[in-house]
Amino acid sequence: MDLTEKKQASASDAIRDPALPLPTLQNYQKHQEESKTTGQSIYSELVADKFDTSVDPMTHLKSQFSSLKDKTPEERARIGGRFGAHMGAMGNGVVGGILGAGIGAVVGRGLGLVQTGEHEDGIRLEKTFDALRTLKIANDKNQIKFDDGGEFQLTTDPSFRLRNTDSVMSGQIDRALTEIDASNPLTKRTTNVAKPFAYYMAQGMHQWADPKNPRDVKALENTNALLVNALQNGASNINQVYDRARSAVKQYGLSEDSMRSFFSSIKEKIPNADALQIREGLDTIFKS
């Protein structure tokens, strides 16, 4: 190996550290600052060992970036980082490759969010949090606190995960904040009391009510799952869940008549399965 090859190998080793975290939109700026002080690229694992200068990177960009919606966030970052590094290295060698990888990773993630509509899901989730804060169900720290001492943290961090009750039954160990734990034996009954709130917030407060709009449908699903997770977080039995739901009704300041009147006004837009759950949920919440 001649001196040039040794330098290239050394540079490649220095910029490829698998222990370093993958970039995210949230921590990109922080990592940039850290890289200034350490002199080491945070996004080194995104840089290819060699750059294929015989292939036009724009050809790959068009084909790869057009399908980012089908990729995971990590895959999007890798695609963006790889081609950012490729293009940067063509003009400025290893340093340009490192900078291009970091920028490309963020662009790749961002374009993927736009293609999938996840960015709009995030915006609507923030609006749901705002509604919960406005109604004093959540505090200024995005925490929902229950009378029994339990609490639930609201966050838009995509890396935040909730633990599933039974990973064998659910098929996965954890889930996102807006995914329901199907393996929890309380989930079906919790959904009954959560769904009236989900409809009231999504359709009543935010007017996300078009059944033909996939974003409206998704917002309702996300709101429902969020409330299910909050109500049963740390709950040991279904009666505890029901008490939490009744407490939430008091926070809303809604009476039984007002809630039933609202659902009567939108009943034509509610699927039969949801209508049944809402009726059972209201009967449970307002059980005398």
Write down the pLDDT at residue 157: 86
DSSP 236: -
Write down the pLDDT at residue 137: 87
What residues in the chain have per-residue pLDDT under 70? 1-119, 288
In angstroms, the CA 84 to CA 23 distance is 13
In angstroms, the CA 152 to CA 41 distance is 36
Write down the pLDDT at residue 191: 97
CA-nearest of 133, 126, 127, 179 to 155 is 126
39: left (phi over 0), alpha (psi -120 to 50) or beta: left
Write down the pLDDT at residue 25: 41
Place of tokens 């329901």: 180
Write down the pLDDT at residue 54: 46
Write down the pLDDT at residue 131: 86
Write down the pLDDT at residue 229: 97
Identify the helix (H) or strand (E) that includes residue 112: helix 73-116
Write out the two tokens for 182: 């199907």
